[in-house]
Amino acid sequence: MTVENLMDKLVAHCKANGFMFQSSEIYGGLNGFWDYGPLGVELKRNIKEAWWKDMYQNHNELAQPQNAPSTYDMVGLDCTIIMHPQVWKCSGHYDLFHDYMVDCRKTKKRYRFDQVRGRWVTHDQKRVFVTTMAEPEQEQEDITRRALKLFNLRSKDIEKIQFEERVLTLDKLTSAERANLLGPDTDEIGTLTDPREFNLMFKTYVGALSGEEGAAFLRPETAQGIFVNFKNVVDSTRIRVPFGVAQIGKSFRNEITPRNFTFRSREFEQMEIEFFCHPNQSADWYQYWRNRRLQWYKDLGLDSERLRLREHEQDELSHYSCGTADIEYAFPFLPPGEYGELEGIAHRGDFDLRSHSEGKLDPKKRPLEVEVDEQGSPRHRGSGKDLTYRDDLTSERFTPHVIEPSAGADRAMLAFLCQAYTEVQSSESGGKFESRVVMRFHPRIAPYKAAVLPLVKKDGMPEIAAEIYGALKKKFNVFYDEKAAIGKRYWRQDKIGTPYCITVDSQTLVDRTVTIRERDSMEQWRVPIDSVVAEIEKRIC
């Protein structure tokens, strides 16, 4: 199966089975926005719940976790999406959170500068950089077709043009080289503008003020809500450093080219921890969180072979970071050997707490207004609040360092979907082979944990099945199905990833036992009705 084929099939499977729909689809959709359907909402909620349970709820502050420098505390937080605009000035997002984009003057399309790929193509001493936004599989075909058209040649003249081997992105070309390029959706040379900065924050206006006075932003990350509440958390909980604050919530980025299903969306959810520690221990905590987070994805079923932890190069680091590692997954829509980011673990030093405390915001001045000092340099205007921490045992006062494991719930879900999607060949009763889909989700994240199926719709079987269904329903999301042949009903559950099917059959009427079938091994065994709940519980937690 080709990559493109696989992604098309996965997208179609997600739509047909109610995992995901394009937002506002009946109006033609809105690019970069996705709705989660009946199954998707369960899958995503289970991923977020697994994260919350593993990182926060089940964390035992009395026991030192394996490979951790010491014991630590965890608390939770839920902050607003719109915050004081000065938060974004101090975090650096107002000035630095941008991508470079280029516009096509002819087609009016806009592209991310670093995403436009292409090749040098030469014909008759004329050298043109032909760009493409086609999927990797069709890149060469698209470039060839458009190069032939540009040089007014026919397919049989292909030997008359030379392609340079390397595929390059636009940002790898000098500005002189960029003069000679063919935009991705046009047949004229020189229609792309120079790269320009484009801030990724969505702007809105708070209250009745529609001018810049009321300007505010939808948060592009959940982290800042945690930093600005650092003092509130310390004062209200009497928690001691080291500790982590966990938060799950929506973030918004006006991405220039949202693509690859939900991988790059404009509205998405993040699962973030800001971990506050003593500066002397921050390097060790950084190691701890990198390994802990990588293991989390493996434990929930992502294949180790398709996962990697990549340390950022010095020139790749964000303005605040002393070290960042990305957990990456070999998504099937990427060319072989390429990986996409699932989560970033950043060592942010004391940048955030220092930045939000330094300086003093003048309440008479409009937020974000640039205030300059005598030398004409912009003055930093933090809250002016003391965000240092005093250790009551040692009396030491310091600004804690922060380690930030920042994960995307939607990207994690996409990786789990890609990993789970499996096509198997099954023989039907007529002996002919049929390809069908099994979604091999880890039981913890599967939308339905079990399905209850009476073998036939008579002899009291539906009544017993309904009883079992009711008992399971109190604990888990469970499906009830009495329509169609039992084999078909098993396949229906395999297709949506239900790990266990419980069948009430004629033997149940004799000895009050039922069959349990496991999705991946298709193994079956019998258990007494009274132990069904415990049996399922034991296997999915």
Please say whether the beta carbons of 3 and 333 come within 8 A. yes
Cβ contacts of residue 347 below 8 Å, gap of 6+? 282, 283, 286, 321, 322, 323, 324, 401, 402, 403
Closer residue to ligand ATP in complex, CB, 323/499? 323
Contact residues: ligand ATP, CB under 6 A: 221, 253, 255, 264-265, 268, 270, 341-344, 406-408, 410-411
482-494: burial string, b at 16+ Cβ within 10 Å, e else? beeebeebbbbbb
How near is the Cβ of 17 to ligand ATP at its closest, in Å?
A: 22
Closer residue to ligand ATP in complex, CB, 89/264? 264
- The pairing of strands 340-349 and 389-390 is unpaired
How near is the Cβ of 345 to ligand ATP at its closest, in Å?
A: 9
How near is the Cβ of 410 to ligand ATP at its closest, in Å?
A: 5
Lookup: tokens for 136: 């990797």
| Per-residue CA distances from 351 to 89, 253, 312, 338, 386 (Å) | 13, 22, 18, 31, 14
Closer residue to ligand ATP in complex, CB, 221/481? 221
Closer residue to ligand ATP in complex, CB, 344/454? 344
- H or E element, residue 267: strand 267-277
How near is the Cβ of 29 to ligand ATP at its closest, in Å?
A: 16
Please name the amino acid found at residue 400.
Answer: P
How near is the Cβ of 253 to ligand ATP at its closest, in Å?
A: 5
The torsion angles phi and psi of 55, rounded to 5 degrees, stand at: -85, -35
Say how far apart CA 513 and CA 528 lie, in whole Å: 4
Closer residue to ligand ATP in complex, CB, 243/261? 261
Closer residue to ligand ATP in complex, CB, 42/343? 343
Closer residue to ligand ATP in complex, CB, 411/449? 411
Closer residue to ligand ATP in complex, CB, 225/408? 408
Say how far apart CA 415 and CA 297 lie, in whole Å: 10
How near is the Cβ of 400 to ligand ATP at its closest, in Å?
A: 20
How near is the Cβ of 373 to ligand ATP at its closest, in Å?
A: 31
48-80: burial string, b at 16+ Cβ within 10 Å, e else? bebbbebbbeebeeeeeeeebbeebebbebebe
How near is the Cβ of 483 to ligand ATP at its closest, in Å?
A: 38
Helices (H) and strands (E) in the chain, counts: 14, 28
